[in-house]
Amino acid sequence: MNFLELKPLTSELLPAVVELDRLCFGGLWSIDAYQREIDSPNSDLLSLSFVIDHDWAATDKDQKTKGNKQILLGLGCLWAILEEAHITILAVHPEYRHQGFGQVLLLDLLKSAVNRHLEWATLEVRSSNQPALSLYQKFGFREVGRRRRYYQDTGEDALILWLSGLQRPEFTQTLANWHQETYERLSRIGWSINYQQEINL
């Protein structure tokens, strides 16, 4: 079994975060910008890492360091703005896509939004990004608008997606169902997740 760790982002992972940002977005945010998100009480910034738990070589060739070595696989961020959860980042390392990790991150961001007592979630996505659109639609997001030529690198439009009713009791049950479905899928392909934060569902 391969072990994943899902937890709030910490400063020691920032170099890996900036590299993941470069791979996924071409350098959207700087290391200082990510640090500001970590420090902000209005942001939830999550990391998903592959944990290698064994003795691994230290810089001194005559010594071994026992502990967890982490490889950053994914990142998610939301801003809490009044009653809205604005999902600003959802990224999975290109070599680890199509395994359900984006679903794990989105699920946990929505849990964070519920725990913060936010009423709805919104985000922007490239109009050509069909895998991301399929994921968001699976979780109940619907298109409510379009930002013309939003992405400066290509001039592509952004679709504005919206999900309401986060505080309704049936949404809590839906989240629980998604959680079970997602983690069963990961288990079938050899992944197990360790949570590092409390979930109040």
CATH number, domain with residue 34: 3.40.630.30
**Residue 137 placed within a domain:** no
* Residue at 145 is within a domain: no
The answer to the question of residue 48 being in a domain is yes
**What's the pLDDT tens digit per position in 64-113?**
444 567 899 999 999 999 999 999 999 999 999 999 999 999 999 999 99
Answer whether residue 107 is part of any domain.
Answer: yes
Name the burial class of residue 12, with classes exposed (0-12), middle (13-18) and buried (19+) by CB atoms within 10 angstroms of its CB.
Answer: exposed
Q: What's the number of domains the chain is made of? A: 1
Whole domain around residue 43: which residue ranges? 2-57+67-119+165-192
State the pTM of this model.
Answer: 0.87
pLDDT of 194: 76
In a domain, 149, yes or no: no
**DSSP letter string, 1-26:** -EEEEEEE--GGGHHHHHHHHHHHHS
List the structure tokens of 10. 């910490």
Q: Rounded distance, CA 63 to CA 61, Å?
A: 6
